Amino acid sequence: MTTDPSRREFCRGALSAGAAAAAAVAGGTGSAAATDGGAAWPLFGYDERNSSHNENGVDAVSADEFGEAWATDTPWEMGSAYPVVVNGRVYCNTKGGIASIRRDDGEAYKKFAAEGSVTASPGATDDAVYVGTDNGYVGEVVDAENRVTNYDLGEGITASPIPLGDGTVLAATVDRHLRRLQLYPDGFSYQWEVGTHGALVGTPAIADGIAYVGDRTAHVYAVDVDDGTVEWRADRSAGFSASPAVADGRVFVADDDGTLAALSTADGSPEWEVDLRGGSVDGDALASSPAVADGTVYVGSVGGTVRAVDAATGETEWVFETGSPVYADPVVGEGTVYVGDNDGTVYAIDATSGESAWRANVDGYVSGLALTADELLATASEGRVHAYRPGIGGGAGAAGGGGGDGGPLGGDGGNGGPLNDGPLPGDGVPSLREGPLSGGFDAVSGLASWAFKAMVAAVVLFFGGAFVLGFVSALFGDDGGSGSSSTSGGSRTTGSRTRSTKLSKDSDAGERPHPGIEDGTEFETDEYGQLVERED
């Protein structure tokens, strides 16, 4: 164990375009939303500890009936999608953007297109939802105004950003940084950053003011959330794709080689570790992040098992076999563990005995789960969100009941638009230039626009020449056929539904603060879209 990875404390404005991002949906400055007595599931792992345990979560084991209340299609495939629930809405990250669905009846509410896949699960405050994309923007979407503000982080995010309060967000990046961001209406700054040895792809867990995260090169870090001080670093034998969980003075980590371990929160020393592969390369590698509830750790595997392990000793309590890889992280309610596998089956398992109590099938593989006091939510890779509730359909052991279908997420391809008023956007294909989280476009007109541009591009390549290039530039300008009007650089973009602001920094800035500016300087964009030093 060591204590001194590279760390730099400075503030800087938005970076150059081109890597990945986080987005804030519905604007706000609060910390993570309250779990509201079990009615909400605001974060990737339910709470900041990543416990994935809602003690008031619905109990399918004891329910006389448990079935599908509704199922709603989204415009895009899900991929690794994990829903969050806050203020009566379900938000899901997808390969094309963010889908917002009314929780009570599954009615499609809004969609927000993104430039690239939204690969990280959302993190919600009472009035905002933060997500990560793979194309370089931190964005804030205000539902009430259908407005998107894009900030360019310049580094990939595949972990869920965590809202900390007062407009600050904790973001872990694949470019080997853990950063605390301060978001402004016209820019952002870094309050601190910690450099790590490997990429960060899992969502940090936070307990007692310390964030814990594992990197892809076999290190686990404990970092003070307030000032970025590295409390300790534990060197392990394999890298981490899964997210850690924290409970009772232990950090539970599942590495890529099949080892589940409990580390002391005090110094990172191992209290116990279990090799679930049994020393064999053909053994049962871990696939999910661990969930922790009432002294037991639950984890899914590539080999199609779900294990319950004593949190204090590491002893296996029971093993449940699904027969298919379990990549969706387990979620735990009152006496029930819910898991989903790659064959598209959702299971309710008795938390005490490990016996199956109920199951249902979805199209594609199960990508994510969330649990409230009223329902179990499951996202499927093909783009559908399912809600299961007591008192509906078949009883325990049945394959789910037939509930209502919330209908497809329609809309005109613009961010913030209703999901039921028109054709779907172009399957997550981004617009060419800036727009509302890149702005979707109508599938037909967009295709025609792209085809025409491809033809003109061929002419340019054949003839070359400044005149043709100038003509094309003047013809297309900045809107990329998206149907919105925009001014240059970081200025606001206004469409029929959405206003969007795009804030970025000089493309050659790289990992350095702005050239000629001392560390600690904050930046903003002026009326011409240029990055300038923020005035007090």
Q: What is the DSSP string of 83-138?
A: -EEETTEEEEE-SSEEEEEETTT--EEEEEE-SS---SPPEEBSS-EEEEESSS-E
Q: Hey, what domains does the chain have and what are their CATH numbers?
A: 7-405 (2.130.10.10)
474 three-class SS? helix
Q: Is the pLDDT of residue 489 over 60?
A: no
Cβ within 8 Å of residue 526, ≥6 positions away: 532
- The CB-based long-range contact list for 3-6 (8 Å cut-off, 24+ gap) reads 3/230, 3/231, 3/232, 3/233, 4/230, 4/233, 5/194, 5/195, 5/196, 5/197, 5/219, 5/221, 5/230, 5/233, 6/194, 6/195
Cβ within 8 Å of residue 25, ≥6 positions away: 91, 98, 100, 112, 122, 128, 129, 130, 131, 140, 141, 143
pLDDT tens-digit series, residues 360-385: 999 999 999 999 999 999 999 888 99
Tokens of 511: 């990992």
214 three-class SS? strand
The residue-averaged pLDDT of 446-475 equals: 41
The residue-averaged pLDDT of 475-498 equals: 30
User: What per-residue confidence (pLDDT) applies to 311?
Assistant: 99
Q: Nearest-CA neighbor of 134 among 14, 21, 23, 25?
A: 21
Tokens of 69: 């209340």
Q: Is the pLDDT of residue 513 over 50?
A: no
Q: Nearest-CA neighbor of 57 among 436, 338, 287, 255?
A: 338
Higher local confidence (pLDDT), 358 or 29: 358
Sign of the CA dihedral with 118 first, then 123, 126, and 128 last? negative
pLDDT tens-digit series, residues 317-359: 999 999 899 999 999 999 999 999 999 999 999 999 999 999 9
Q: What is the dihedral of CA 381, 387, 388, 393, to 10 degrees?
A: -100
Q: What is the Cα 460 distance to its own chain's centre?
A: 40
Find tokens 């090799």 and name the residue.
275
Tokens of 253: 């980590």
Find tokens 């499951």 and name the residue.
378
Find tokens 């020449």 and name the residue.
465
Per the CB < 8 A criterion, the answer to whether 447 and 440 are in contact is: no
Q: Is the pLDDT of residue 146 over 70?
A: no
pLDDT tens-digit series, residues 238-266: 999 999 999 999 999 999 988 999 999 99
Adjacency order of strands within the sheet including 147-151: 123-124, 129-133, 21-25, 138-142, 147-151, 499-503, 492-494, 485-486
Regarding pTM above 0.75, the answer is no
